[in-house]
Amino acid sequence: MSEFSAQDAVFMQMALDLAQQGQFTTTPNPSVGCVLVKDGSIVGKGFHFKAGEPHAEVMALRDAGEQAKGATAYVTLEPCSHFGRTPPCAKGLIEAGVARVVSAMRDPNPQVAGKGLQMLAEQGIESAVGLLEEKAEWLNRGFLKRMRTGKPFVQLKMAMSLDGRTALANGESKWITSELSRQDVQVERAKASAILSASSTVIADDPLLNVRWEQLPKQVQQQYKHENLRQPIRVILDSQNQVQPTQRLFQVDSPVWFVSKSERDLSGYPQSCEQIILEDKAEYLHNLMLELGKRQINTLWIEAGATLAGALIEANLVDELIIYTAPKLLGDEARGLCKLPHLNKLADASQWKLHSIERIGDDVKSIYHPIVREPKC
pLDDT digits (tens, 9 = 90+) for 323-356: 999 999 998 888 888 888 888 888 888 899 999 9
Is 145 part of any domain?
no
Quick check: 158 and 306 in contact, CB under 8 A? no
Last residue of one domain, picked from the residues 139, 165, 188: 139
Q: Is 133 a catalytic residue?
A: no
Q: Please tell me the predicted confidence (pLDDT) of residue 85.
A: 61
The enclosing domain of 20 has a CATH number of 3.40.140.10
Q: Which residues of the chain register pLDDT less than 70? A: 1-2, 82-86, 112, 172, 226-228, 372-377
Establish whether 48 is an annotated binding residue.
Answer: no
Q: Please tell me the predicted confidence (pLDDT) of residue 374.
A: 54
Establish whether 163 is an annotated binding residue.
Answer: no
Q: Please tell me the predicted confidence (pLDDT) of residue 20.
A: 94
Q: Are residues 310 and 202 in the same domain?
A: yes
Last residue of one domain, picked from the residues 139, 167, 195: 139
Q: Are residues 43 and 120 in the same domain?
A: yes
Tally of structural domains, the chain: 2
Q: Please tell me the predicted confidence (pLDDT) of residue 227.
A: 65
Q: Are residues 215 and 364 in the same domain?
A: yes
Q: Which pTM value belongs to this model?
A: 0.91
Q: Are residues 124 and 19 in the same domain?
A: yes
Establish whether 62 is an annotated binding residue.
Answer: no
Q: Are residues 120 and 256 in the same domain?
A: no
C-alpha to C-alpha distance for 132 and 81, rounded to whole angstroms: 22
Q: Please tell me the predicted confidence (pLDDT) of residue 302.
A: 97
Q: Are residues 218 and 118 in the same domain?
A: no
The b-or-e profile of 52-85 (16+ CB within 10 A means b, else e) is eebbbbbbbbebbeebbeebbbbbbbbbbbbeee
C-alpha to C-alpha distance for 202 and 196, rounded to whole angstroms: 11
Establish whether 173 is an annotated binding residue.
Answer: yes
Q: Are residues 232 and 352 in the same domain?
A: yes
Q: Are residues 122 and 156 in the same domain?
A: no
Q: Please tell me the predicted confidence (pLDDT) of residue 326.
A: 95
Q: Are residues 245 and 161 in the same domain?
A: yes
Catalytic-labelled residue, pool 53, 57, 137, 374 = 57
Q: Are residues 218 and 332 in the same domain?
A: yes
Establish whether 308 is an annotated binding residue.
Answer: yes
Q: Please tell me the predicted confidence (pLDDT) of residue 222.
A: 79
Is 66 part of any domain?
yes
Q: Please tell me the predicted confidence (pLDDT) of residue 236.
A: 97
Range of the domain at 120: 6-139
Q: Are residues 71 and 193 in the same domain?
A: no
